[in-house]
Chains A and B, each alone.
Chain A
């Protein structure tokens, strides 16, 4: 028995460890982006995001104010200042030469070759004093090893929402995705009811058609539909993209809703019929309320899809400020701001924030929809 118990606990350990590794592997990229979005430009290029949580050790090079600013105090010429310019940080060591940037402990008086006395305190305050007037035009260079505490900023968010156009694009994305989620639901619900509970010739054929259309690649539809939109005068407009998203979302909507409705108990519908309810009444008063879980599943799918979509948006909408959606704006920023990670990370996080909230709030419905939607 002992042997079995032993293997079992080892197995539990292995399983937990494996799950932990998977979770870490799957979350670290997103986490890195989140951390980066709270760091400023210099921090991002100075160190990897994984070092952001710890105080950063860095070498600081500071040029003190020029000799002409020296004040005469008690017979000494003195220049004072702070090598962080008043910012946070702690000096652990300092030096006066680039060859030995960390030669001296903080607080010690160091005499330079010119006879000046330099000292740097832990807070970064320094004092250069000399009995003779200082010469030269440029200030003295002070080198220090500093520890800067972990620092995070919300500045990036303010900046991308305004200057980088993400705020405007956010509104555009909402304009696209909300109608594109609401409209197909009703259209699909009626069709799904007919396909689930009404008898008519050709029903099986239409169901087969819907299943077939589930996988038609969007690429095929782009050119013909864009031509059609231009010909009938819709052109590149919100109306066009709403219609397109509705059309592309319908197969999944009908498929999901029909599968759900067909599983509703037959007795309820039959007894309503016997009581004299028409199909229209049955649909509105019985089927629709009962199908809420399926409607919610589809709504989440369609919302995530329309919110995250790039292809349909760049084809059916223009590139102007009042039509560019967030994914499109993010793609443009990747081109124009390739190395500015503080902008890219923050913009990306703004675009994925809403889907993530929807995802965590409605996960049950999403899972249920996935289970019903994958063609068995």
Chain B
């Protein structure tokens, strides 16, 4: 209960503090540059130059401390030793590129990067296309979208039950092995069989992300001008042709957005791997490798180096996003 009290007090202090800050700083500004008197015009201009910065100050301060500053510290730490006290040059990087686990992570991340966005976008597009044409479409959408609300850890438990293995002779309680043995094969310990296990982990993320892809793509499909579709129907195009040759090309931009957004999620994927296999049996990925070195290895140098590699992989998308946003603003 004490904890709740603290939380409530924090909310109050946070909200009240924010309101006070904005109110008081605003009032102070009006006092310093009053909008009356001989210099009213000049004062108003000055106040208007300062006011935006008053409004933005708390946000900018938090952004700087919690997101900008760590980028530079991480770069710094990646050139330091395990405890961050001695400069070791590029040792961490040479170690990283020679490390077997790192190579394994890079290969796996590459697989994730190809498979997850492709499969999520494909199923999302399929789901958007079919649910827009049926009467119970909204219900179907909600069901496919639902995994978005489930935590990665919760999803890991859900899918671990699907992949559960019982020795031959016992009743299989995992649905995958039940189907598999039903087809007359021998039950498998799926999560410890290399390569296939990585894909089984990817399926969990595809399951979560498809709903996101579906929602965005469904909105885009509905935004397509009716005339183009009517014209193609008059020209005798089949439903499949209309979809592939008329609709998909028109939402290409949105597909790209969905793809890149899922790509970023994939690069940061961590919880699923940590909780289902903990990177064993050839399923290691970069984010989990970084976590390993941070908590189990207690080596801030190597952990930071792994984090920098993730950052470098995200950077092209970041630049692309910023450019697009800048173009839109113009």
Contact = CB atoms under 8 A, between A and B. Distances in A.
A223 B62 CA distance: 17
A36 B161 contact: yes
Contacts of A188: 59
Contact of A351 (B68, B153, B270, B328): B153
Contacts of A279: 26, 51, 55
A111 interface: no
Contacts, number: 341
A208 B324 CA distance: 10
Interface residues of B, number: 117
Interface in A271-314: 278-280, 283, 304, 307-311
A196 B48 CA distance: 14
Nearest to B293: A223
Contacts of B187: none
Interface stretch (A102-110, A126-134, A212-220): A212-220
A9 interface: no
9 contacts: A48-B172, A175-B3, A218-B268, A220-B308, A224-B77, A242-B10, A351-B153, A367-B215, A367-B219
A44 B173 contact: yes
Given A179-B10, A217-B310, A310-B152, A26 B147 contact: yes
Nearest to B177: A48
A120 interface: no
Nearest to B272: A310
A308 B151 contact: yes
A48 B152 CA distance: 23
A48 B307 contact: no
A46 B257 contact: no
Contacts of A48: 171-175, 178
Contact of B63 (A178, A213, A327): A213
Interface stretch (B85-93, B105-113, B135-143, B244-252): B135-143
Given A187-B59, A207-B329, A351-B154, A49 B173 contact: yes
A352 B56 contact: no
B106 to A, nearest CB: 15
Contacts of B306: 219
Nearest to A323: B3
A254 B55 CA distance: 12
Interface in A296-348: 304, 307-311, 315, 322, 327, 330-331, 334, 341, 344-345, 347-348
Nearest to B303: A223
A190 B22 contact: yes
